[in-house]
Amino acid sequence: MTKKVHEDQRYVTALLNNNVALVNEIYKKSAGKVKSFVLFNNGSADDAADIFQEALVDIYNQAKYKNLQLTCPFEPFLLLVCKRKWLNELKKRSISPVTKSEDDLLHIGEDTFEQAEVLAQQKEQAALFLKAFEKLGERCKEIIRWSMQGEAQEKVAETLGVTYGYLRKKKSECMASLVKLIDRKND
């Protein structure tokens, strides 16, 4: 059963289309809350800005590359993503937060937790895939890196000085090696 897409999907679309007015609305609604949460928990205004920006870029990425469909309201989702990010950051800095748990988030719906969880997982996974990618041979890395730029593959072949057919063949082989590398890690 697919859940209904929430009307707040428009904020996600605003990020995709760089709709400045609507993105500004996101800031107006949520930036203050994230700022006070971070300030209250041993952070600075700059930290808050970094976290907020990172969260919005993560949401953009998930929307563009992972087809994010929001089934919960945008604001609690964003706030939850920001809070988790900041608590992780504190852990890295070995500072224990003032707000220990997510008690104050108890009124948030299950959908929101689920979506924040998926976002975090996919980000983590992408980082793992990138690590595996770094282990490939130089030629493979070059071919994959170029073909991921979103340009027409014919043009990529031209840039690399190979034929289109060779590029397809080589990319398939390189990607297969990568999948096997990742597969082995998961076993």
Q: How many CB atoms lie within 10 A of CB 34?
A: 24
Q: How far apart are CA 96 and CA 103, in angstroms?
A: 16
- Interhelix angle 138-147/164-186, rounded to 10 degrees, is 110
By CB under 8 A, which span of 23-31, 72-80, 88-96, 112-120 interacts with another protein?
A: 23-31
Q: Decide: is 171 part of the binding site for another protein (CB under 8 A).
A: yes
Q: Decide: is 184 part of the binding site for another protein (CB under 8 A).
A: no
Q: How far apart are CA 136 and CA 123, in angstroms?
A: 21
Q: Decide: is 45 part of the binding site for another protein (CB under 8 A).
A: yes
Q: Decide: is 20 part of the binding site for another protein (CB under 8 A).
A: yes
Q: Decide: is 179 part of the binding site for another protein (CB under 8 A).
A: yes
Residue 93, both tokens: 């800095």
CA 160, distance to chain mean position in Å, is: 29
For the stretch 143-149, contacts whose Cβ atoms lie closer than 8 Å and that sit 24 or more positions apart, written own/partner, are 143/167, 143/170, 143/171, 143/174, 144/171, 144/174, 144/175, 144/178, 147/171
**According to CB under 8 A, which one of 18, 94, 161, 187 is a site residue for another protein?**
18
Site string for another protein, 71-90 (x = CB under 8 A): --------------------
Residues that bind another protein (CB under 8 A): 15-18, 20, 23-24, 27-28, 31-32, 35, 44-46, 48-49, 52-53, 56-57, 60-61, 64-66, 100-101, 103-104, 106-107, 122, 125-127, 129-130, 133, 144-145, 148-150, 168-169, 171-173, 175-176, 178-180, 182-183
